[in-house]
Amino acid sequence: MAMRQFKAESKKLLDLMINSIYTNKEIFLRELISNASDACDKRYFKSLTDASIDIKKEDLQIHLSVDKDSRTLSLSDNGIGMTKDELEKNLGTIAKSGSQDFKAENQNENIDIIGQFGVGFYSAFMVASKVTVVSRAQGSNEAWQWESKGVEGYTLTPADKETVGTDITLVIKEDAENEDYSHFLEEYTLSDLVKKYSDYIRYPITMYREKSRQKPKPEDAGDDYKPEYETYTELETLNSMVPIWKRDKKDVKPEEYNEFYKNKFMDYTDPLRVITSRTEGTATYTALLFIPGQTPYDYYTKEYEKGLALYASGVMIMEKCGDLLPDYFSFVKGVVDSEDLSLNISRETLQKDSQLKLIRNSLEKKIKNELHAMQVNDRDKYETFWKAFGRQIKFGIYGDYGMHKDLLADLLMFYSAKEQKLITLDEYLEKMPEDQKCIYFAAGDEVDRLGKLPNAQLVLSKGYDLLLCSEDVDEFCLQIMHDYKEKEFKNINSGDLGLETEEEKKAAEEATTENKELFEAIKKALNGKVKDVKVNPTLQDHPVSLSSEGGLSMEMEKVLRKMPANGEGMESTKILELNPNHAVFGALKAAFAVNDTAKIDKYAELLYDQALLIEGLPLEDPVAYAQLVCELMK
Ligand code: ADP
Ligand code: MG
């Protein structure tokens, strides 16, 4: 019997294939099962137009069996089979896909066949030292055997086979140092792999499984009877066949979706929202997505891996395809199934796949719309969502130089000082008095403290609302947005808020000119810590306050300081503002009148430190501050 050589280019390809296209050896089973499923599809499809083919859809199936002694794993299908020519053509040439030809020949028909690349079969050599294929084609009365040990070539010999279909037998490789091949001979491994990759193949995938049961208790058993066990085998269907996402939404109970979510994504709380989507046209896919009900414990760490499970016609290609989700929706879990993707796709080629990009864009819009709908119609759930993942949305606005702000802005929620609850930006705008020009916000760690800041009370006293932003990302997010529907965001500590009356303004200007020399002295005493000292007529009962000038606010300075190696030199430009109506201002003036420089120096330092404390900023020298206070008490 002559050894037939693989076509030259096939040899190289086979080598490449076995060693690199698939990094993951276990997928060989998925590939062989998909081929068997395609073969069943083809036979069924032919039977529709050829009355001589007497097969019903229910009779088509795929059967697995293992024999540990001979280290063999066999797959049998009663699909269309292969003639001698087809064995030669399809298995003798790598990258020759019979399925592709079949599709081309039957172009107008709606057939949904998995294979189209022509390399999947060879993945068997990743785990097998020898592969034997015995096949009998539909309409043929002879069977042929194809056999190969890999790169050297293959043999083709006549064989005996009573029924139409294909039997593939793999001799599983011996275990190597770092490679455990033997587990592919375990029933539970095979059952797990079928569940993982091939659960939604439309034909039953069966296997006899060894089980154990208690023997019936004999009638005459005495008191000292100990239960006895026996092993038996039972034919089991390993796959569940119809994927939940392929079922009509109205036929699926909410609990079924929830159960699916919890099992598949290992969560113990129900999802907040289930999103189903089926599209045709530029991107043909079915998606079943979930918004989780709580933050995964590792969500805000590097360990968390975003992604959706990706299926091609019911066969899993990838457990977590990150390219399907933008980072700002990385919390979404789910499944995407597309007929337009080929099975033999690797991570590298996927990234370039234009189909995938279309799906991603379409999903992005869908997710955005669903979240917005939830915000409008299901506020309690949305707030739960927001507490769990709002931070990620804010990062999404801030990231990529604000490229996604238009998409994400109306998902935002902030705590309202006036209403004491979370509100959206649209809600803020709706309640804005006519004379209000900006959207005011205060940034800092604690919501409670923010509302008490001098400028916060000023804004509120005008009847305006104020967003209390207590997350470190908030201000960065608002700054990159700049405005919402043309209303500018304004930090209440950004200096000129434009909230004084004309009278107050005039009085302040006068007071500033009047006390010019005093302010110079204070500025000098503070030795570069503030850029300017001025009067602020709106401080009410606070003696002093700090504001900042330019793009970097004091709160941002605080955030940046916390970042490793980033805080250096990142300082806000501060202005010390004094309340001209406060007793302390009088004390300053008095000291200045008698030229008591030592006192002015101390007061300046004290007031500056107090202002820092009010803003929640760290004191440069807490010990010196404490000593100053004590000195005053003496
Ligand atoms: P693909 O499935 O991408 O076409 P494969 O390398 O997986 O490529 O398979 C090559 C070809 O061999 C298939 O297209 C099909 O024509 C044929 N083939 C493989 N397995 C079977 C099978 N079990 N029954 C019938 N034909 C098969
Ligand atoms: Mg295939």
Q: Is the CB of 436 under 6 A from ligand 1?
A: no
Contacts of 160 (CB under 8 A, 6+ apart): 143
Residue of minimum CA distance from atom 23 in ligand 1? 36
CB under 8 Å to 370, separation ≥6 — which residues? 273, 275, 291
Give, for ligand 1, the residue of 90, 148, 201, 342 to mutate: max count of ligand atoms closer than 8 Å to Cβ: 90
CB-ligand 1 contact for 97 (6 Å cutoff) = yes
> Distance between alpha carbon 398 and the CA centroid of its chain, in Å?
18
Size of the chain, expressed as the number of residues it contains: 634
Q: What is the pLDDT of residues 401-436, one digit of tens each?
A: 899 999 999 999 999 999 999 999 999 999 999 999
31 lines ligand 1 (CB under 6 A): yes
Output the CATH code of domain 504-550+570-634. Answer: 1.20.120.790
Which residue owns the Cα nearest ligand 1 atom 2? 115
Q: Which residues fall within 8 angstroms of residue 205, CB to CB, at 6 or more apart?
A: 33, 61, 62, 63, 64, 194, 198, 237, 238, 239
pLDDT, average across residues 89-106: 66
Query: Nearest Cα to 454, choosing from 630, 581, 587?
Result: 581
Q: Which atom of ligand 1 is found nearest the CA of 80?
A: 25
CA of 123 to the centre of ligand 2 (A): 10
DSSP secondary-structure letter at 618?
Answer: P
Which residue, 311, 277, 275, 272, is CA-closest to 292?
Answer: 272
Mean pLDDT lowest for which of 67-71, 227-231, 310-314?
310-314
Beta-carbon contacts of 438 under 8 Å, excluding residues fewer than 6 positions away, are 487, 488, 489, 490
Report whether pLDDT(152) > 90: no
Closest ligand 1 atom number to CA of residue 36: 23
Find, among 217, 541, 272, the residue nearest to 386 by Cα.
Answer: 272
Mean pLDDT of the chain, nearest integer: 87
Q: Is 77 in the pocket of ligand 1 (CB under 6 A)?
A: yes
**How many A from CA of 210 to the centre of ligand 2?**
30
What residues have CB less than 8 Å from 80, skipping those under 6 apart? 39, 40, 42, 43, 46, 137, 138, 164
Atom of ligand 1 nearest to the CA of 165: 24
Confidence at residue 309, expressed as pLDDT on a 0 to 100 scale: 92
Residue 535 has pLDDT above 60, yes or no: yes
Q: Which of 56-60, 167-171, 436-440, 505-509 has the lowest mean pLDDT?
A: 505-509
Contact present, 393 and 425 (Cβ < 8 Å): no
Q: Cβ neighbours of residue 564 under 8 Å, at least 6 residues apart?
A: none
pLDDT at position 112 over 80: no
The answer, yes or no, to whether residue 95 has pLDDT greater than 70, is: no
Q: List beta partners, residue 212.
A: 231
Higher pLDDT, 152 or 585: 585
pLDDT at 425: 97
Ligand 2 centroid to Cα of residue 125, in Å, is: 14
Question: Which residues on adjacent β-strands are paired with residue 578?
Answer: 535, 544
Q: Does residue 181 line the site of ligand 1, with CB under 6 A?
A: no
Ligand nearest to the CA of 99: 1
What pLDDT digit, counting tens, does each position of 3-37 carry?
A: 787 765 666 666 666 665 556 788 899 989 999 99
Query: Which is nearest to 323 in space by CA: 364, 383, 276?
Result: 364
- Binding site membership of 37 for ligand 1 (Cβ less than 6 Å): no
90 CB within 6 A, ligand 1:
yes
474-484 residue pLDDT tens? 999 999 999 99
Report pLDDT for 223. 85
Close Cβ partners of 534 (under 8 Å, ≥ 6 residues apart): 508, 512, 519, 575, 576, 577, 578
DSSP letter for each residue of 264-284: HHT-SS--SEEEEEEE-SSS-
Residue from 30, 99, 346 whose mutation best tests the ligand 1 pocket (most atoms within 8 A of CB): 99
Rounded percentage of the chain residues whose pLDDT exceeds 90: 50
Dihedral sign, Cα of residue 530, residue 532, residue 534, residue 536:
negative
What does the pLDDT read at residue 11? 66
State in Å, rounded, how far the first CA of the chain is from the last one.
Answer: 111
Q: Tell me what pLDDT residue 581 has.
A: 87
Does residue 304 carry a pLDDT above 80?
Answer: yes
CATH topology assigned to domain 244-378: Ribosomal Protein S5; domain 2 (3.30.230)
Q: Give the distance (Å) from ligand 2 centre to CA of residue 3.
A: 24
β-partners of residue 51 are none
pLDDT band per the 50, 70, 90 thresholds, residue 117: very low
Longest dimension (CA), the chain: 120
Q: Which atom of ligand 1 is nearest to the CA of 102?
A: 16
- Whole-number pLDDT of residue 452: 84
Across the range 106-115, mean pLDDT stands at 56
Closest-CA residue, ligand 1 atom 16, reads 98
Lowest mean pLDDT among 20-29, 49-58, 296-305, 498-507: 20-29
Tens of pLDDT, residues 573-622:
889 999 988 998 999 899 989 988 888 999 999 999 998 888 878 888 89
For the chain, the domains span: 8-212, 244-378, 504-550+570-634
List Cβ neighbours of 580 (8 Å cut-off, separation of 6 or more).
Answer: 507, 508, 511, 535, 537
| Residue 335: pLDDT band with limits 50, 70, 90 | very high
CATH superfamily of the domain spanning 8-212? Histidine kinase-like ATPase, C-terminal domain (3.30.565.10)
Give pLDDT, residue 609.
92
- In short, whether 119's Cβ falls inside 6 Å of ligand 1 is yes
The rounded Å distance from CA 179 to ligand 1 centre is: 27
Q: Which of 118-122, 169-173, 389-393, 548-552 has the lowest average pLDDT?
A: 118-122
Is the pLDDT score of 38 beyond 70?
yes
What pLDDT sits at residue 116?
47
Chain position carrying tokens 């199936």? 61
The pLDDT, as a whole number, for residue 348 is 55
Note whether 466 and 459 are within 8 A (CB). yes
